[in-house]
Chain A
């Protein structure tokens, strides 16, 4: 399989998105992708850092990249698109010598950030590819109609992320098709969920995430797949708040794409953290169990 990857989990994956981390590790292990945690990794800086000081934000991200490069890794992957954006922004800004100098003062070491950084989704699509993934899938996802929600950052800013069509990405849709599921014609693939506005202006998140849920329901999906921990939190953990705001009830489960992939790879539900959701994931499992029973797999 592919060479070892430096793995940068990101803070969310140790707390609110533990199931994203669990399922990512489980899938990669099954697929033979070796993940080596970045030693002594720290926060990427996230929104508070870049909203305060660009050099400080870059230094926080650069520290992690440097730690990874110290291990000799030339490839790094993170499940979180927001972390990836922070890492790539630091890489891009440090191409300016003046900026790099400011970062190096904060960092206390050279900020040469030549390591290749990608999302887990990008790594799976590029290094393994759909065919290899489908080959490893022992249980089809037949019966699922998946709305794939990529969020703002997976494909944008275009120049920095350089992944798929910025307005109509299809990586997850193609993945689920390859795994035997249906891809729902979901309209708001790259709309914003409200992101961190949940803290200062909760109504904005409830409005925006409400739209996304409504569009997913309209597309006839029976599961919403995501690739971002903050998107998942807004759509899953804030479900009751959204329902209170919009007056529309929705039981649509919100799963990380790695959880669905894990199910197809034959991994047990506990290993994928399917019990860690606010909105129950049972309907998804029920559909799949019926499929598997009829096809005599799993």
Chain B
């Protein structure tokens, strides 16, 4: 073998604490190395050209680049050696930046370690073999999980691009959080009026198939060929028959069911349609409040339904769909208000969440858009808004800013004045964060035109006093304590990951952060991709986002799906497990341990049992390799010989020449 080694300076990133020339000089002595040089920037155009020229002039058939992490430039250098006619797997990378120069200060020791890492790469490369990717067909159907504004946008863009689109929504209607909002900032236009047409488009688009009241039960497969199981939850109403006339809800005698669409402000009937613009406009039964299920009587809905759609015997049903890509748009949920005892959350009825307040302001809400205190129905004459409730609060392990609360609080203060012009409004805030287009102007309108009293400081407690609520806090601009009397206190409760998002992440094999928000592949350059190929993110499931950002991300995810589907076939990664049938004794331990179901049982010609890898399903994790007692199954590009070559060298070198 003829190996070339290129030691990158990365400017001073590496050369600052590693003697790159000395590493190259040492590498020159390594077995089968015919060329070893140092280079200022290996990834630059001249750097890559030098590698190509060396391959051609020196007849190299293997290349080692010692530079940064392979996550950064492995793909770059693989393409470089490919351009010079080598197989892309005849390349190894030694990470002497993240693993050496950035973490150690001692130049002598750094140089020693960098030399070792280069040697390890050389030792492995000596056992590398050319590998070739296989290609497979792409199923050009897309699954969108969640039908809030981000999911709706992603689905419509995909469908308009000609893709068959499956939309799965957990609740009985599409629209998500945006459908619950009364107005939107900074334009103060009616939220559902803007969203409504998009919801209708979604329902009527001939390329879109909508599963409401459904959840993802399971997802298997890989980019281009996913198999998804969708659990359609029992609604006890045959939606093929239901016309959405609402007669059942009018006659339902059980009128104390929790109204989840209205954020538990007010009650609803056990059979209900969540709101007038609901899509699909179909009734469903809340079994936990329905007299038929609780006491085995009633059945009024079944009697009055003109189309006989009520079906008390209905069961959950699992349907299967095949898709090639997934867009996750499952949004967020507010934190539980009961966690905020200091503000009376969950203790005093007149302390509400911002989303509850939104429903109280809405003309289609439980109070018909008339502001009323939940405790006794009186009209509030003073409303106090508390921002950063559970956001930027390290005492609750929540250092994050929820991003949109400053803006909707200003909007709600403005709306309060338009509902009750003589109502005082006070906002307790830490900082105002209004960096969007027209946003800061909007805050100023709330302060100046709508006379909202902005108090900079935290609230220490909310307590009942003379039949109202006293809100005590600090005014840090005046340097005093302050106490404001309120009829209603609105908490700008922080945004957390949507309920069940961790379970969903496990099913989709994507990662999530400490707060449960899904992780993008790169915080700047791959904001909608995940680390699982073919799974994309849109909207607040990745982190709190306002409507424009969610819509933009929905479109971005759709764009990514369409780019993926613009190819007829995709290449599979050849770094997968492979069974050596001669060694395999057919114990099938690998089959049982494989987390991806990528191993199947086959019969050899002599009738014996053997394991076989389904290459397109294998993710290359290597679990099977360590399970196999007969060294019959091996991961390509990480074979036993390749890894042992690295270890053998490393152990010997440490015994012989440790600098300590």
A: which residues have CB within 8 A of B?
A: 165-168, 185, 187-188, 191, 215, 218
| Contact of A218 (CB < 8 Å), options: B341, B347, B461, B465 | B465
| Contact of A167 (CB < 8 Å), options: B341, B464, B465, B470 | B341
Residues on A with beta carbons closer than 8 Å to the beta carbon of B461 = 167, 191
Q: Does B342 contact A (CB under 8 A)?
A: yes
Chain B CB within 10 Å, residue with most, of A168, A185, A187, A191: A187
Residues on B with beta carbons closer than 8 Å to the beta carbon of A191 = 461
Residues on B with beta carbons closer than 8 Å to the beta carbon of A185 = 464
- B341 adjacent to A187 (CB under 8 Å): no
- B466 adjacent to A187 (CB under 8 Å): no
CB distance from A217 to the nearest CB of B (A): 11
CB distance from B343 to the nearest CB of A (A): 9
CB distance from B259 to the nearest CB of A (A): 27
B: which residues have CB within 8 A of A?
A: 341-342, 347, 461, 463-466, 470
Minimum CB distance partner of A214 in chain B: B465
- A215 adjacent to B465 (CB under 8 Å): yes
Q: How far is the CA of A166 from the CA of B465 in the complex (A)?
A: 20
Residues on B with beta carbons closer than 8 Å to the beta carbon of A165 = 341
- B465 adjacent to A187 (CB under 8 Å): yes
- A188 adjacent to B463 (CB under 8 Å): yes
- B465 adjacent to A168 (CB under 8 Å): no
- B341 adjacent to A168 (CB under 8 Å): yes
Residues on B with beta carbons closer than 8 Å to the beta carbon of A166 = 341-342
Q: How far is the CA of A165 from the CA of B347 in the complex (A)?
A: 13
Residues on B with beta carbons closer than 8 Å to the beta carbon of A168 = 341, 347
Residues on A with beta carbons closer than 8 Å to the beta carbon of B464 = 185, 187, 218
Minimum CB distance partner of B483 in chain A: A211
Q: How far is the CA of A187 from the CA of B460 in the complex (A)?
A: 13
If over half of B's interface residues share one DSSP class (helix, strand or loop), that class is named, otherwise mixed; here it is strand
CB distance from A221 to the nearest CB of B (A): 14
A sample of 11 cross-chain residue pairs with beta-carbon separation below 8 angstroms, ordered by A number, consists of: A165-B341, A166-B341, A167-B342, A167-B461, A187-B463, A187-B464, A187-B465, A188-B463, A215-B463, A215-B465, A218-B464
Q: How far is the CA of A199 from the CA of B85 in the complex (A)?
A: 88
Q: How far is the CA of A188 from the CA of B462 in the complex (A)?
A: 9
Q: How far is the CA of A187 from the CA of B463 in the complex (A)?
A: 5
Q: How far is the CA of A187 from the CA of B464 in the complex (A)?
A: 6
Minimum CB distance partner of B341 in chain A: A167
Q: How far is the CA of A168 from the CA of B348 in the complex (A)?
A: 12
Minimum CB distance partner of A185 in chain B: B464
Residues on A with beta carbons closer than 8 Å to the beta carbon of B465 = 187, 215, 218
CB distance from A84 to the nearest CB of B (A): 22
CB distance from A184 to the nearest CB of B (A): 12
CB distance from B473 to the nearest CB of A (A): 13
Q: How far is the CA of A166 from the CA of B460 in the complex (A)?
A: 12
Residues on A with beta carbons closer than 8 Å to the beta carbon of B341 = 165-168
CB distance from A174 to the nearest CB of B (A): 16
**Which 7 A-B pairs rank lowest in CB-CB distance, beginning with the nearest?**
A187-B463, A167-B341, A167-B342, A168-B341, A187-B464, A165-B341, A188-B463
CB distance from A1 to the nearest CB of B (A): 34
CB distance from B389 to the nearest CB of A (A): 13
CB distance from A60 to the nearest CB of B (A): 29
Q: How far is the CA of A167 from the CA of B459 in the complex (A)?
A: 13
Residues on A with beta carbons closer than 8 Å to the beta carbon of B347 = 168
Q: How far is the CA of A168 from the CA of B461 in the complex (A)?
A: 11
Q: How far is the CA of A284 from the CA of B465 in the complex (A)?
A: 25
- A218 adjacent to B463 (CB under 8 Å): no
* Given pairs A166-B341, A185-B464, A218-B466, 14 additional interface contacts (CB within 8 A): A165-B341, A166-B342, A167-B341, A167-B342, A167-B461, A168-B341, A168-B347, A187-B463, A187-B464, A187-B465, A187-B470, A191-B461, A215-B463, A215-B465
Q: How far is the CA of A168 from the CA of B347 in the complex (A)?
A: 10
CB distance from A287 to the nearest CB of B (A): 25
Q: How far is the CA of A185 from the CA of B347 in the complex (A)?
A: 11
CB distance from A224 to the nearest CB of B (A): 16
Residues on A with beta carbons closer than 8 Å to the beta carbon of B466 = 218
Residues on B with beta carbons closer than 8 Å to the beta carbon of A187 = 463-465, 470
Q: How far is the CA of A167 from the CA of B463 in the complex (A)?
A: 11
Minimum CB distance partner of B348 in chain A: A187
Chain B CB within 10 Å, residue with most, of A167, A188, A191: A167
CB distance from B469 to the nearest CB of A (A): 9
CB distance from B541 to the nearest CB of A (A): 32
Minimum CB distance partner of B464 in chain A: A187
CB distance from A201 to the nearest CB of B (A): 14
Minimum CB distance partner of A169 in chain B: B341
Residues on B with beta carbons closer than 8 Å to the beta carbon of A218 = 464-466
Residues on A with beta carbons closer than 8 Å to the beta carbon of B342 = 166-167
Q: How far is the CA of A165 from the CA of B470 in the complex (A)?
A: 20
Residues on A with beta carbons closer than 8 Å to the beta carbon of B463 = 187-188, 215
